[in-house]
Amino acid sequence: MNLMNVTKIIAAAATLTAALQGPAQAADYPSKDIMHIMPWSAGGGTDTVMRSFLSFAEEPLGVGINTQNITGAQSGVGTLRLMKSRPDGYTIGSLTWDSVITVPYNDLVPGYDTEQLAYLGAVTVHPTAIIVRADAPFTTVEEFVEAAKATPGTLKISNVGLGGVWHLPALDFAKQAEIDVQHIPYPKGSGPQVEGLLSGETDAASTSISAAYSAIQSGQARVLAVMADERSDEFPDVPTFKESGYDVVWGGFRLLATQAEVDAEQRATLEAAFAKVFDDPEFQKVAADTGMGAVWMNAEETAAYVEASQKKAFALTDELVEAGLLSE
């Protein structure tokens, strides 16, 4: 047998081996722990909710999910790390409004491209809320507006980043109410933002109810109103801004994604495991008890939802920039 024939036999054997191993490897996925990139600080609303959700996803996947906090640039640093990760199915990441709207719109991170992401599903969708300390002198939206007009430029509303998920809704509200307030960013996340509210650094926080849930439950803070079309079934006593005459409907979301080149079957495995969590009665109880705003959307629905949110947010941002209420 000459060398050429031996080479052909070896090549054919390698091809056959790869063909036989491919399905087995796919069936074995995942076979080791998965890394989860959290682009916000530890202890914040998003960090807490997503760690809780993913702890339930470990059982259907059969492996552990280890969270690594990589913060900076309004979630841009951590999300870029996800975009540049090896597409082997063993790195996933949490995304928020800022990850898909603020960072790309403002070009905050070089090399950032949301086309490098593949959405796996949405975990929460929740309306923007204006939250104040329990001892605040205003108990309604109307009283807050009156206080702001009585002392222009003194009341402080916090957010987690200028031009971001909680800043834009607060700007929209201030514009409609014709009030002059200070917008104070806490770029490290909702944890420091809520701490700033409770310590008296700010007068109000533009955030989600879930981000301040423990402070609300303990009686340290209360919700003035939410930016939703209707009152929530979970919080029926909390009015909407529409009830006070302000047509501001905004909200945030928490999504899961992986690198865009990850194998479709691996993505489907992850998506199915995450969907299964919502059938777990124990998870549903945790979701109800913590007010996390749990809402499941599959990968396709999530992609469409992100696209619609981008269109709405980009249009408002352009309008606010043109009006001089937001810098480019």
Angle at 187 between CA 240 and CA 144, to 5 degrees: 30
- Tell me the CB-side half-sphere exposure of residue 68, using CA atoms within 13 A: 14
Among 303, 204, 274, 295, which Cα is nearest to 56's? 274
CA 177/CA 179 separation, integer angstroms:
6
Q: What is the pTM of this model?
A: 0.76
Count of CB atoms within 10 A of residue 259's CB? 21
All residue ranges of the chain with pLDDT < 50 are 1-25
Residue labelled with tokens 């007068």: 203
Q: For 278-318, write each residue's pLDDT tens digit.
A: 999 999 999 988 878 899 999 999 999 999 899 989 988 89
Among 169, 159, 165, which Cα is nearest to 247's? 169
Instruction: Give the bridge partners for 133, in sequence order.
Output: 221
Angle at 222 between CA 48 and CA 150, to 5 degrees: 125
Q: For 139-163, write each residue's pLDDT tens digit.
A: 999 999 999 999 999 999 999 888 8
What pLDDT is attached to residue 44? 81
